[in-house]
Structure 1
Amino acid sequence: MPIELKMLAWSIALGLAHVLLGAALTTRQRGLKWNVGARDAVLPPLEGVAARVDRGLRNFLETFPFFAAAALAVVALDRGDAGTALGAQCYFWARLAYVPLYAAGVPYLRTLVWAISLWGLLQLLWALL
């Protein structure tokens, strides 16, 4: 299997883990009754780690569709090379590092890690242009 597809599969797993982590932290803050209910009530915004994990997930979801499309296109068009392999790996590993950095509220380094993930995504895009 091409490395781009392996990194896509691992990125899907990371996204699911991020969703589950966010759900657990949100449930801890809002309670089980909220989680299993209809969620019709207007609640105050999340705070602390739960809020940061939720924002981190939203950030992941902003780039993941582009990464998935680019990884699939690179493989389908047989455009994969060392650059796309490195790009896919950078995207995944940077996104993995981003989760705890954002959850912990680490400034600057978090932004650098995000930039590395974007660079990885751009490596895939450039192979398609």
Structure 2
Amino acid sequence: MTTELTMLTWTAALTMVLWVPYILSFIGKYGLMDALTYKADDKPNAPWAERLKRAHYNAVENLVPFAALVITAHLAGVSNDTTALAATVYFWARLAHVIAYVSGVPFGRTLSFATGWFAMAAILLTLIG
């Protein structure tokens, strides 16, 4: 498996597990029955859990273009140092984004998001260049 596909797999795995802590926080605060019903939609969670939920939504939104770029590169047979580095940077930027978002690190969320965006742009430019 290429580095790009490996990083896509790890990014997907990260995105898959991000919901677990904020759901567990909600269950701990309101109970399992409220978490299993629509009552969960109207009740606030702990502030860190609300930030994690937003970070999860952002991860899902950004997984789509990242996956499309990596899969397109794979199908086109484009794999080089630039795409491998960009995919690796993207994964670590997404992990940093979650940590910065949940922790409330000033400018961390924005810088890590921008880093991931530029990593995707590098893959795109390699594909169309």
Same fold, judged at TM 0.5 (above):
yes
RMSD over aligned Cα atoms:
1.7
What TM-score, normalized to structure 2?
Answer: 0.89
> Do the aligned partners of residues 39 and 98 (structure 1) sit closer, same or farther apart at CA in structure 2, a change above 3 Å counting?
same
CA distance in 1, matches of 2:105, 2:84: 28
- 1:22 touches 1:50 (CA, 8 Å); kept in 2? yes
Confirm whether residue 2 of structure 1 aligns to residue 22 of structure 2.
no
Q: Give the percent of matched residue pairs that are identical in Structure 1 and Structure 2.
A: 33
**Aligned positions, number:** 128
> What corresponds to 2:124 in structure 1?
125
After TM superposition, the structure 1 stretch with the greater mean CA deviation from structure 2, 7-16 or 24-33, is: 24-33
Structure 1 residue runs of 5 or longer lacking an equivalent are none
Shift in Å, 1:34: 1.1
- 2:101 touches 2:108 (CA, 8 Å); kept in 1? no
> What corresponds to 2:59 in structure 1?
60
- 2:25 touches 2:46 (CA, 8 Å); kept in 1? no
> Do the aligned partners of residues 123 and 29 (structure 1) sit closer, same or farther apart at CA in structure 2, a change above 3 Å counting?
farther
- 1:80 touches 1:127 (CA, 8 Å); kept in 2? no
Shift in Å, 1:57: 0.8
Structure 2 residue runs of 5 or longer lacking an equivalent are none
List structure 1 runs of 4+ shifted beyond 3 angstroms. 44-47
The letter for the 2-side match of 1:8 is: L
> What corresponds to 2:29 in structure 1?
29
> What corresponds to 1:71 in structure 2?
70
What TM-score, normalized to structure 1?
Answer: 0.89
